[in-house]
Structure 1
């Protein structure tokens, strides 16, 4: 489980850093540096006895690639562990992402042979191979399908309340909150000690060479990330970063500078899209949940915990679907409302059982209130004026989040008064 604990005024912001979570081992997808390119993979092998993988891809587009990124998945428990000259890599769950440390041109119609190594002595085929490059088009992936623009703004605004006590996405935020995960940063609480902050900086470096205040931190981030991968433990230390500059100041300045803001924002958005939002929508689709409310609840849990597997398994078990048949909704009379209810109850129990998480249990209550109200599509304004104790009893502590109102179009305000209720 990943934790982030910070206080903004009287509101508790408790959220998660990305990286390998303790609630599951599922892959959350590759970070895409730049846009998907037109390409074909002509060779994809991994020879276990030699610990050696080969991926050959052909640029089938009309423009040359200038700094390609290669991302792919490996079997669970396998670690990518080698960088060929000119390459560096990060790993999040089962996804390995290799990016260039120097320029590399792969002309239109040309092929490139990429080599990698892992800890596996068994042969396999790399999964979900993706080749991307800043020269292949825009830098921001298209929005995930399944939510309207307004619904997505509501979903992201709710999670931002738990992150920073405001529906406004806090791209400039950076702080060491003492939770054992290094610096916590940006709109989704990307952490330097859990493998996702480094992906933001890698992306940003590929987009902006000049005026990039964060590039100098890559050696320190790489050292920390390698330690994270080799030990499997979140990394609290920041000394490798502190010796290179003022991380908090440079992170904030990268967003607050009008020249660099668009690129820095784009990279944070890309990591959220790849690691959290798209996987959340995919999980909802897999289990047969179609509403904006269920998708928002899944997204928030992904940001908070990094995985949904334990919650989904528990919901299925509680509803008599111990075989984990998907889609669950429609199986043996299971409804979306019943599935979401059990999902939220399991998440509530996990938060409450942990002394650090306990003060954030109210974030689950909002989704339960909306479920009881039947506001499945966010067609009416959403308020977080509800506590876990309002839904499930007085044993739950009050988290102290500031009450906000988010309208169906995503605009928001701070109500002058509120009445706490779960109905």
Structure 2
């Protein structure tokens, strides 16, 4: 089976690391998003991150995830950071390369040869045991935190939102695309974002193609559920059925607060 981008939920040990208090002092809003609309708007983007974090981290505090790193046993090597960059799927390598271009000689720079060697595998060869500690040390710097946000945007957020806007869907649909791209990756394989979108379009037209927005987003969620159920690590579909589908059924296409949802049986609310 090929290695796809994301994994099921991870319940982190960050409280034991004492990172939550530090994270509250880490500003994350980028000036470039000022004046943006839809999911690009700073408040909506933060909302999207909190929604994703509820599924990925069982917490709304996404800014506490910069230092997070562990192997959760899903065949993707180490998983770390604010969206779960993985050593086995290329995006962790891209992140560390970006950080090293900006800060040569950083604490992670020496790990680049090993990250290149393990890309596409679950291996820790050349990384264990020092890589997790180096990652957490790097996460204390504003440069590495910004690199995580920038790589999140380049690889996942910006492409997802741009594609959603071209398809004519609003803020909720843009989030639906983003969450799918984070979990499944941007590829065209049937179990990746592009394949999920293609499957959805066989059942409903996008608004840009003359379709109804609610009907199309429902079709996309149906295709996403199908894809999730094909892989054991993704087989719990509550992040769709008791979260995104709930917002859609309520007609909340603008993803306005207040919001209430459940993921993996845990309830969340944003006022």
Listed as ranges, the matches of 1:23-422 within 5 Å are 142-143=32-33, 145-147=36-38, 148-169=41-62, 170-209=65-104, 212-225=106-119, 234-242=120-128, 246-255=130-139, 257=140, 260=141, 262-289=142-169, 291-307=170-186, 308-319=193-204, 321=205, 328-329=206-207, 331-332=209-210, 334-359=211-236, 361-365=237-241, 366-385=243-262, 399-400=264-265, 402-407=266-271
> Is the CA contact (8 Å cut-off) linking 1:151 and 1:377 kept in structure 2?
no
Structure with the greater relative contact order (CA < 8 A, sep ≥ 6): 1 or 2?
Answer: 1
**Shift in Å, 1:355:** 2.5
**Shift in Å, 1:181:** 1.2
**Shift in Å, 1:184:** 0.5
**Shift in Å, 1:272:** 0.6
> Is the CA contact (8 Å cut-off) linking 1:284 and 1:294 kept in structure 2?
yes
Give distance in 1, aligned partners of 2:207 and 2:196: 15
> Is the CA contact (8 Å cut-off) linking 1:141 and 1:270 kept in structure 2?
no
Give distance in 2, aligned partners of 1:6 and 1:373: 25
Describe the shift of the 1:330–1:186 C-alpha distance in structure 2 as closer, same or farther (beyond 3 A).
closer
Give distance in 2, aligned partners of 1:7 and 1:222: 25
**Structure 1 stretches of 5 or more lacking a match?**
10-139, 226-233, 322-327, 388-398, 408-423
The C-alpha deviation readout for 1:223-274, integer Å capped at 9, x for no partner, is 223xxxxxxxx311011212xx51112111221x3xx2x1010100011110
Give distance in 2, aligned partners of 1:330 and 1:250: 46
Bigger CA radius of gyration: 1
The C-alpha deviation readout for 1:301-330, integer Å capped at 9, x for no partner, is 0000013222222222112x5xxxxxx315
The C-alpha deviation readout for 1:289-312, integer Å capped at 9, x for no partner, is 1x1111111100000001322222
Describe the shift of the 1:382–1:153 C-alpha distance in structure 2 as closer, same or farther (beyond 3 A).
same
**Shift in Å, 1:383:** 1.9
The structure that is strand-richer by fraction is 1
Q: How many residues are treated as equivalent by the alignment?
A: 239
4+ residue runs of structure 1 moved beyond 3 angstroms? Answer: 143-146
The C-alpha deviation readout for 1:128-181, integer Å capped at 9, x for no partner, is xxxxxxxxxxxx783394332211111111011111111222111100111111
Describe the shift of the 1:296–1:239 C-alpha distance in structure 2 as closer, same or farther (beyond 3 A).
same
The structure that is helix-richer by fraction is 2
Q: Give 3-state SS (helix, strand or coil) of 1:404's partner.
A: strand
